[in-house]
């Protein structure tokens, strides 16, 4: 059902269609980090040049916290805890930016895989099964359903 894994650093080479609904899983080695879906109301947006799964993966790959809950989770739970005390003045001066560190973390450590679906309803159903551990045999670190 799911594709092979792709590195976020090479997200544009994964062959995701320009308009598609889908479910995805994000991994750090064998640890399931996050599961999500994209393509809400795909049925009403088939006319667009780019919509759904491709734009969601692109957003996650950007590392930008604004408007992307996955990037916020990565920054809060994975990036910030790894910072050193000596990094704090570099944030104050603008030398370090959390968006850039988050993007670097995502590109260096994380991979994703995806499954294309026909409808929003199907995407919601598979996402919930993935987040509850039913599909991969484990719940994601950042957004489990327990």
Identify whether the C-beta of residue 106 lies closer than 8 Å to the C-beta of residue 74. Answer: yes
pLDDT digit string (tens) for 71-96?
A: 999 999 999 999 999 999 998 999 99
Cα–Cα distance between 71 and 73 in angstroms, integer? 5
pTM value is: 0.94
What mean pLDDT, rounded, does the chain reach? 94
pLDDT of residue 47: 83
The model's confidence at residue 27, banded by pLDDT at 50, 70 and 90, is: very high
pLDDT above 90 (res 117): yes
Alpha helices in 47-134 (DSSP H): 53-62, 69-74, 88-93, 98-109, 120-131
Q: For the segment 39-59, what is each residue's pLDDT rounded down to a tens digit?
A: 888 878 778 888 899 999 999
**Is 142's pLDDT higher than 80?**
yes
Q: Percent of the chain beyond pLDDT 90?
A: 82
Cα–Cα separations (whole angstroms), residue 143 to 35, 36, 74, 132 = 7, 9, 11, 9
CA distance 133 to 144: 8
Determine the average pLDDT of the residues in 136-141.
Answer: 98
pLDDT given at position 122: 94
């Amino acid at each position: 059902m799911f594709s092979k894994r792709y590195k976020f650093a090479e997200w544009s080479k994964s062959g995701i269609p320009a308009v598609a609904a889908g479910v995805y899983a994000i991994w750090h080695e064998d640890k399931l980090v996050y599961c999500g879906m994209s393509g809400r109301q795909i049925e009403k947006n088939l006319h667009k040049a780019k919509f759904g799964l491709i734009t969601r993966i692109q957003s996650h790959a950007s590392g930008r916290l604004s408007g992307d809950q996955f990037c916020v989770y990565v920054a809060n739970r994975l990036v910030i805890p790894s910072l050193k005390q000596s990094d704090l003045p570099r944030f104050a001066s603008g030398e370090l930016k959390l968006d850039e560190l988050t993007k670097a973390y995502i590109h260096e450590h994380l991979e994703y895989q995806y499954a294309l679906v026909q409808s929003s309803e199907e995407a919601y159903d598979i996402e919930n099964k993935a987040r509850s551990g039913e599909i991969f045999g484990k719940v994601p670190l950042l957004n489990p359903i327990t």
